[in-house]
Every structure is written in C-alpha cells, then in structure tokens.
Copies of this chain bind each other. A is one copy, B any other.
Amino acid sequence: MKKIIFPFLFLTVLKAGSQPVQEKISAYISKEQHALLKEYANFISIPNVLGDSAGIYQNALFIKSLLDNNGVKTKLLTLDKPGAAPVVFGEVFTPGATRTIAFYAHYDGQPVNPEQWAEGLEPFKPTLVTDRLDRGGKFISFPTDNEPINPDWRLYGRGSSDDKAGVYAIIKAYEAIIKNNLTPGINIKFFFEGEEEAGSINLGDMMEKYKDDLKADCWIICDGPRHQSGRKQIAFGVRGDVNVDLIVYGGKRPLHSGNYGNWAPNPAMRLAQLLSSMKDKNGMVTIKGFYDDVIPLSASEKEAIKKVPAIEGILKDELAIAAPDGGGRSFLQLINLPTLNINGMQSMNVGTMASNIIPSTATAVLDLRLVLGNDVDRQISKLINHIKSQGYYVTDKAPTDEERKKYGWIALVNKRGSGYNAQRTPMDLPIAKNIIAAVQTTTKDPVVLLPGVGGSLPLFLFEKKLGAKPITMNLVNYDNNQHAENENIKLGYLWQGIETVAATMLIK
C-alpha cells in the first residue's frame, strides 16, 4: 500500500547515492504521514495575517513548540517596535561540523477576503480535496489512520503553500533526521519570519540586532513554487525592484473637450507619447543605456538555463497570449534582463464615469525590475534623462503655476520607497554545488537550476547585513494559488519538500 502511495520515493532511493539514509527519511515520512497531515492542518488553522497580532504570536509559539519538541535551542527574536512580528529562531550544533547553514521560511500569509474563496472553503479551516477544485476536486474528510493518503490530494487554506510549507518542511526534515538517529552534517540555524508578505519591513533591523546569532556560511530560503514542469527547482537569485510615479500635466483644470479640443494639450496623449518613446514594438526598452550595465550570465549560468524545460507553450496557452514581448528571446533570457513595466495608468475616468473633458493630469506607475549590475538610482537616472530628452522639464513635486507657465512639457517623477538591487549567488560556489548535488539525490529528474527568477525579494539584505549568500529552494506546486483565494498545497509536494530539506541538512 505504501509503495503505491509513495512510488516516487522508492524510485528515488534506487538511484540515490546515499540510499540507506534517504530511504530512512522517506520511510519515516511515510509512516508518520497521518500525524503530519493532522499537525500541519492544525498549523494552517492558525490565522497568520499581519495586523492580527494574536494570530501572529500564536503561530510563532506553535512553531517554537515544534522546534522545542525536537530539542532545538529556540528563542523569539523581537524588536522594540510596535507591531513588529517576532522571528522564531533556533539552532543546532553538530559536533565536528565545519559549516553552518541557516534555513529561512516565513509563517505570515497574504491578507484574505473569505468571500472570494470557493464555496465550502474558508481561509483558516484547512480542507482536504481530491484534486484542484476548479478541475473537479471533491471535498473529503481527513483520513483515519487506516485509510491511505493520496499524494495528489490537496490541502486548502491560507499559508498552506506560502509559506507555512517552508516552515514545516524545514522542521520536519530535522525531525526525520534525529528520529532516525541520524546526524546532520552541518550546524543548523532556523529563522522563521512573520512579515515577509508586508515586504520584510523589519528584516534588516532584525539582522543588525541579532547579527551574532545569524552567522552562517549559507542561507537556504524555502519559499516559492517548483518549476511548472513539476521538477524540483533551486534558484540562485532574484531581480531588484523599484517603483516610480510619473505624472504629466495639461491645463490647470479639466477642460471642456469641445470648447478647448485641439488647442488645450491633453496630458493623457502626452503621457502615451512619452511612455511609447520608452519601448519598441517588441517591448524592449529604448531608453539610452538601459541594458548597458547588466552583468551577463556566466557560462555555467547559461548552461543551466539551457537545461530548463521550456514553458512558453504552457504559458501562452494558459494565459491566452499569442504575441509575447521580447522579440523572440526566451522566457528565461527575458527574466534575466531589467524591466520597465506599467503597473497602472490613469487619467480621469473611463466607463460610465467618463465625461467629455480634456484631463488635467495623467499618471502612470512604473515598475523597474533590476538585474545584477543595475543600480536603483542609476536606473532611475536613465529614466529621468530619457524623459528630459523628450523635451520635458522634470520635477519631483506638483508644478507651481509659474512652472506651468514657463515649461510646456512637465513631468513629475518620484521614486517610491527606496527600492533595492538584485541579488545573485554564483551557482559554482562549493556550498552551492553541495546543495545541488544533495537535492539531486532525492529525484530522478534533473533539478531545475535558475540563475535568477523574475520576481524580487530583498535577498541583498543577506549579503549586505550578514555577508552571506542566499540560495532559494522552491518546494510547492506551481498551481497553488499563492497570494490569492483558494490557496492550496499538493500533499506529495509537502512530503517531497521534507525530503529535499533533509538532504541538504545531511551535507557534510
């Protein structure tokens, strides 16, 4: 029976180099799966939305107890700042170990709107379903200890994938090791953040305050989905990010489009012309020097990309996109380049609220993603220089009447927040190689290695504040609906996630 439920694990074991050890881990998960499922469901049932301090603390204490039960030396890291969520920290010293790996995951989740969830689901009432609900999955009860668990079943609930799965896989990997009387090959640190979804606003301060506790040779970030092909995935970098507000001005007040039409400048048209000047028809940026400081991928990074299964076909079909941007470049080439995207654009109203006027202003919010070599302020300077080259007077506040009367073309450009640069850990660092090899022992399919993902996380903080290199291991199914309603995890991915993390803890 168990062989049917975990065929993958045993296949793996046949090929893995450290067979006996991997086999023990897999067997432990298989034996304990009913208890694990129950315990994980309890974890998911604790509300984890930032702002709900009681829920956040209850999560932190639940996690701490999981570590304590396994004999880990734990503490809550806190800041003297109202509302800052505690970090659950733990450490394990391994006699004879020469290296330390810190494992990061976050226990907070995205805000929830229960009304948007499917009928029968509630964000904090963990619910078992036989398949994806939108593919005909049926609700089922939690199994008794004698009923088999199908790894294709899904557990629905906020945080089930993002990122309590990371927290749980890390803790249970360590548990599986010690319950089998095995010994980790490294010193281990546990670091579970409670405000990642709010932009890790206090992470830098936490790192500074607890710098001594947080020393490690490498940080493994357990967050995000595996490759769309279903393969295991390790990512070595993220893009940086900064947003910019851009406003273009017309007359001082909205004007009757009949009485003034053709004479009064229309800021919506001028904004369209300005934005249009920034990209070609293929969506490539035409701002001078935009790609100049990009550090190209290394030979091994290019090699890794070549081995990643192509997903363009799946994406085009799923998103109904016939003509992607990029002038024929591959998806992976493109997410390793900086972007200039319009997040939002508005000038007066559309729809039923539209009226026959010439707007007074037109606004766009731009999103600049950065790759290695780019710098937030340098990127914004390129943007501003471009806008100036289009004849604009650039200001950082609403223009005065005097400025309006003096300059025919006025653009306000404002950086939002401070933004941050990209981060990339070389794939050929010795410890990176060890981690890749360890994860590869747990699966027969080649592990997908991404030099960088398209999204952004403030991973630069690990380099800047701790001098450490982060590596991201993606554990959950790609169709988990993270950040949206109906979040879920495929159980098989949770079990495999535990195996994956355990393999890295066994690195010597």
Contact = CB atoms under 8 A, between A and B. Distances in A.
A409 interface: yes
Contact of A321 (B265, B334, B335): B265
Contacts of A38: none
Interface string A250-277: 1111011111111111101101110111
Contacts of A349: 343-344, 346, 365
A268 B321 contact: no
A197 interface: no
A319 B262 contact: no
A354 interface: yes
B406 A322 contact: yes
Interface in A448-506: 453-456, 483
A74 B398 CA distance: 56
Given A344-B354, A347-B342, A348-B343, A317 B405 contact: yes
B262 A354 contact: no
Contacts of A256: 454-455, 483
Nearest to A239: B258
Nearest to A225: B259
Interface in A314-350: 315-326, 331, 334-335, 337, 339, 341-350
Contacts of A369: 257-258, 261
Contact of A355 (B277, B312, B323, B343): B343
B325 A265 contact: yes
B250 A321 contact: yes
Given A251-B320, A405-B316, A455 B326 contact: no
A259 B455 contact: yes
Interface stretch (A98-106, A168-176, A356-364, A372-380): A356-364
A185 interface: no
A131 interface: no
A368 to B, nearest CB: 9
B345 A346 contact: yes
A258 B362 CA distance: 24
B259 A323 contact: no
A369 to B, nearest CB: 5
A193 interface: no
A57 to B, nearest CB: 27
Nearest to A356: B367
A408 interface: yes
A239 to B, nearest CB: 6
Contact of A364 (B281, B315, B350, B406): B350
Contacts of A257: 339, 341, 343, 367, 369
A266 B239 contact: no
B341 A358 contact: yes
A223 interface: no
Nearest to A339: B261
Nearest to A276: B276
A345 B362 contact: yes
B321 A251 contact: yes
Given A258-B454, A346-B346, A354 B243 contact: yes
Contacts of A283: 262, 265-266, 269
A318 to B, nearest CB: 8
A177 to B, nearest CB: 33
Nearest to A284: B262
- Name the residue among A252, A258, A345 with the largest chain B CB count within 10 angstroms: A345
A48 to B, nearest CB: 20
A195 interface: no
A39 B175 CA distance: 91
A325 B266 contact: yes
A307 to B, nearest CB: 19
Contact of A263 (B324, B354, B406): B324
A125 interface: no
29 contacts: A241-B258, A251-B321, A252-B319, A257-B341, A258-B456, A259-B335, A261-B367, A262-B326, A263-B312, A263-B325, A263-B334, A263-B335, A269-B275, A269-B276, A269-B279, A272-B272, A272-B275, A273-B276, A273-B279, A316-B405, A320-B401, A322-B405, A322-B408, A323-B409, A343-B358, A344-B350, A344-B353, A345-B345, A350-B363
